[in-house]
Structure 1
Amino acid sequence: MEIFIKASQFILSLSLLIVLHELGHFIPAKLFKTRVEKFYLFFDYKFSLFKKKIGETVYGIGWIPLGGYVKISGMIDESMDTDQMKEEPKPWEFRSKPAWQRLIIMLGGVTVNFILGILIYICLLWAYGEKFLPNDNVKDGIWVQDELATNLGLQTGDKIVSIDGKKIERFGELPIEFINGNTYTINRNGETIQKEIPTDFISKLVDRDKNAGSFITPRYPFVIAEVSKDSPNLNSGLQPKDIIIAINGEPVTYFDQAKELLEKYKGQKIDVIVNRESNKVTVPVSVTDKATLGVALGSLSLPDLEKLGYYQLASKSYSFTEAIPAGTKKAWTTLANYVKQLKKIVNPSTGAYKGLGGFISIGSIFPSEWSWYAFWNITAFLSIMLGFMNLLPIPALDGGHVVFTLWEMITGKKPSDKFLEYAQITGFILLLALLLFANGNDIFRKFF
């Protein structure tokens, strides 16, 4: 069921983005009286799952879910219909239109993607507002429990001040800032320290166990999830959801403090005080020779931690007019972060290319339970990502066509149909190689 929910959200999001992207080409083409022969969701090599001709356009759904397309008369595109290009240009064909009209048609898809991303972010902020943990409110610093964080040079209790000189406002932004950054500044026991982020940090992040969670977290209390069946404290009175707040009379705020205290009492019988539904309860326990209590550590959500007084979250609500600049800024930040990640990917020394993913990776970012907030948030991100990727100056992408059209407008020389045909084939080969590499990465990570 979990896979079905993820897949359903992924297919719905992908279909929405493809249809609207292609609509961005379709509408200006029709406005400029250019014939559109096909409008397809997914590719229809050899056959279609559905098709219907309305007017001069065939609308359909293909069987290969790798994208979609509009087939515009007189244009060398995904269809590679070179026979049509051998005939004399017709007034309704793409190649007969002025360069400025062709440029608008080609930019229509990415324009829709960027506008859609901005609109979704505006509506999400207007409808839901924001709730987050301010970085300044993590007053006792972070909890380092991961080798990746240790290799970064972090220690439990460090307060992260800035990354690449940029002050971090929200704790949740830290992982992406570390991925995109080069240096960071921390406050450790009152001393300000600047460190470099290792070049191979992203490579190690990609190789890390995917179920390990975030490599950087705020400090958490000692919450008991369950008492193990082979635990010496199975019948001690410890219960799930108990929060240990004192060990043998010494107060404990965070789990990392409890670990240090338990080392002192290995193999001994002591008393612990737990917070149980707002009541303080004393429980006699036995500490194992490995300095544990034989319990599984539980987790709490940030709102739960706020209720218990560990952290104070910040909330923001937006009127529609306030959401417009805020949503636009969020879309711009999303785009800027994505561009930074691409720069890391094309630098082989970072190892970021190993994190490049295909359909499995994209589908996995959707939640296992249906959430409209998460669905629209991810769809906005994918829309902006799709818009930028299509702007890359690669033949077979919108950006490639835009480059050729701009060249024509600047020089007055139009590339030959044969050149455009070869460029399209080259672009397809590049895209196919990228597609195989990205999805191959997914398969390798999943099974090996």
Structure 2
Amino acid sequence: MEIAIKLSQFLLSLSILIILHELGHFIPAKLFKTRVEKFYLFFDIKYSLLKKKIGETEYGIGWLPLGGYVKISGMVDESMDTEQLAQEPQPWEFRSKPAWQRLIIMLGGVTVNFILAFIIYIGMTFFYGEKYINNSEVKDGVWVQNTELEKVGIKTGDKIVAIDGKEIVKFEPSVNLDVLMAKTVLVNRNGEEKTIAIPQNFIGKFIDKDKKELIALRMPFVVGGFADDSKNKEQLKVKDVFVSVNGQSLKYYDQAASVLSSYKGKEVTAIVLRDGKETPVKLIVNQEGKMGVGPAQVTESSLEKLGYYKFSTEQFGLFESIPVGIDKGFAQLGNYWKQLKLIFNPSTGAYKGVGGFAAIYNIFPDYWSWEAFWSITALLSIMLGVMNLLPIPALDGGHVMFLLYEMISGRKPSDKFLERAQMVGFVLLISLLLFANGNDIYKAIIGK
């Protein structure tokens, strides 16, 4: 069932993005009276699952869910249909249209992608508001689970003050991405501020060695379950919250290992919060310094009730949501552009994290959440828009590059040159696709 839920979200998101992207090409083509021969969701290599011809256009669904396309008459595209190019140009063909019209047709797809992302962010701001924790609420610092980040010098209990000189006012999940791409992080450790330099190759090490979340909120140790050989099943109950062990504070789960290390193979007296009351219990610590107790997932409401953090949600009216949503869209666009630059810089090692369709599939949660679905779809829409703008023949950006050359120089590249450029671009595109999906396979084999 979990696989079906993930797959459903993946295919629905992909379908929305592909259809709207291709509509971005289709609508201006029709407005400029350019013939569109095919409009397909997914690729119909050899055969299609569904197809129907309406007017001059065949609409269909292919069997290979790696994208989609519109086939425009008289255009050198991925179909490499050169037969019609051997004929005299016809007035309904793409190649017969003025350069400015062809430019609008080619930019239509990415324009729709960016507009869609901004609309989603505006809608999410209106419906869900903005959830966050004031950074001042993180009084005892953050939880560092990632060993590579610890080696850099950021430790559990540090308060994140600023990243690359920008003060952190709100503690949000995006802090992790900011730290991953940072050059410096300013932390407050025991009242003293320290500037931690993040090495240029940190992303590569993060991908290679330890993909655990960089920083997180410190969580209480709430009993969630027991190991089969645990000797403490009778003494503890699920949802008990640890307070102390032999008088030593155990406010956070991350303190458990160091606190229990002193009591290996011994009996201890722990204080737990049970039904709102502090209750003493006798527990056995095994020779490994563990109690055979697993932690529970703690909800935001429970964290607030226990007095750990105060969560804030800022609600916005419809018109207020517009500038806030647009700001979020530009922030995501900026972040993705930064990531892309890091990927193309070999010294960062960021290219190791490039993923294909399996990586996109794994972004989606294994439960249905419209908030998560739309958030991921907006991000993918930005990614699709930016990637399509890359000046690679076979992508929209490649066509735009040649059209801009034509408009500036007044000389149109020959159809033969465009065919060859399309072939080169197609080889580059396939290489990138193989690299990205090869990365997915490699990670699956080595278990990362």
**What's the RMSD between the two structures over aligned residues?**
1.6
Q: Deviations over 1:41-96 (max 9, x none)?
A: 11122222221111111111122211111111111012111111111111111111
- How many angstroms does 1:224 deviate by? 1.8
d(CA) in 2 for partners of 1:252, 1:10: 41
Alignment match, 1:2: 2
Alignment match, 2:216: 217
- How many angstroms does 1:230 deviate by? 2.2
SS of 2:355's equivalent?
Answer: coil
Alignment match, 1:194: 195
Alpha carbons 1:44, 1:64 under 8 Å: kept: yes
Q: Deviations over 1:248-298 (max 9, x none)?
A: 234432234444333344443332111112121111223334333232233
Alignment match, 1:75: 75
Alpha carbons 1:199, 1:349 under 8 Å: kept: yes
Equivalent AA in structure 1 for residue 88 of structure 2? E
Alignment match, 2:232: 233
Equivalent AA in structure 1 for residue 109 of structure 2? G
Q: Deviations over 1:310-343 (max 9, x none)?
A: 0111111111101111111111111111111111
SS of 2:15's equivalent?
Answer: helix
Alignment match, 1:175: 176
Alignment match, 2:299: 301
Alignment match, 1:343: 341
Alpha carbons 2:148, 2:210 under 8 Å: kept: no
Alignment match, 2:166: 166
SS of 2:53's equivalent?
Answer: strand
* Runs (5+) with no aligned partner, structure 1: none
d(CA) in 2 for partners of 1:293, 1:252: 14
Alignment match, 1:110: 110
Alignment match, 2:286: 288
d(CA) in 1 for partners of 2:292, 2:248: 20
Q: Deviations over 1:396-426 (max 9, x none)?
A: 1111111111111111111111111111101
Alpha carbons 2:144, 2:155 under 8 Å: kept: yes
d(CA) in 2 for partners of 1:58, 1:31: 18
Alpha carbons 2:268, 2:284 under 8 Å: kept: yes
d(CA) in 2 for partners of 1:259, 1:6: 35
Per the normalisation by structure 1, the TM-score is 0.95
d(CA) in 1 for partners of 2:110, 2:398: 13
Alignment match, 1:326: 324
For the pair 1:140 / 2:140, whether they are aligned, the reply is yes
**Greater mean deviation of Cα atoms: 99-108 or 251-260:** 251-260
Alignment match, 1:368: 366
d(CA) in 1 for partners of 2:172, 2:105: 42
Which of 436, 439, 442 is matched with 1:441 structurally?
439
d(CA) in 1 for partners of 2:264, 2:92: 84
d(CA) in 2 for partners of 1:216, 1:303: 21
d(CA) in 2 for partners of 1:269, 1:26: 73
SS of 2:6's equivalent?
Answer: helix
d(CA) in 1 for partners of 2:233, 2:49: 59
Identity rate of aligned residues, in percent? 59
* Runs (5+) with no aligned partner, structure 2: none
Equivalent AA in structure 2 for residue 197 of structure 1? I
d(CA) in 2 for partners of 1:42, 1:266: 59
For the pair 1:40 / 2:48, whether they are aligned, the reply is no
d(CA) in 2 for partners of 1:228, 1:396: 55
1:286–1:425 CA distance, 2 compared to 1 (3 A): same
d(CA) in 2 for partners of 1:130, 1:185: 25
d(CA) in 2 for partners of 1:130, 1:62: 39
Per the normalisation by structure 2, the TM-score is 0.95
d(CA) in 2 for partners of 1:409, 1:377: 38
Alpha carbons 1:247, 1:258 under 8 Å: kept: no
- How many angstroms does 1:145 deviate by? 3.5
1:64–1:288 CA distance, 2 compared to 1 (3 A): closer
d(CA) in 1 for partners of 2:136, 2:351: 33
Q: Deviations over 1:180-226 (max 9, x none)?
A: 2221111111111112112222122223466x4x2311222222222
Alpha carbons 2:162, 2:187 under 8 Å: kept: yes
- How many angstroms does 1:37 deviate by? 1.0
For the pair 1:24 / 2:35, whether they are aligned, the reply is no
Alpha carbons 1:227, 1:239 under 8 Å: kept: no
Equivalent AA in structure 1 for residue 244 of structure 2? A
Alpha carbons 1:179, 1:341 under 8 Å: kept: no
Alpha carbons 2:154, 2:196 under 8 Å: kept: no
- How many angstroms does 1:351 deviate by? 1.4
d(CA) in 2 for partners of 1:114, 1:107: 11
Q: Deviation above 4 Å: which 4+ runs of structure 1?
A: none
d(CA) in 1 for partners of 2:275, 2:131: 25
Alignment match, 2:88: 88
Equivalent AA in structure 2 for residue 166 of structure 1? K
- How many angstroms does 1:427 deviate by? 0.5
For the pair 1:415 / 2:413, whether they are aligned, the reply is yes
Alpha carbons 1:334, 1:381 under 8 Å: kept: yes
Alpha carbons 1:227, 1:238 under 8 Å: kept: no
Equivalent AA in structure 1 for residue 197 of structure 2? E
Count, aligned residues: 445
Equivalent AA in structure 2 for residue 227 of structure 1? F
Equivalent AA in structure 1 for residue 385 of structure 2? G
d(CA) in 1 for partners of 2:340, 2:152: 21
Aligned pairs (5 A) from 1:235-274: 235=234, 237-274=235-272
d(CA) in 2 for partners of 1:146, 1:180: 15
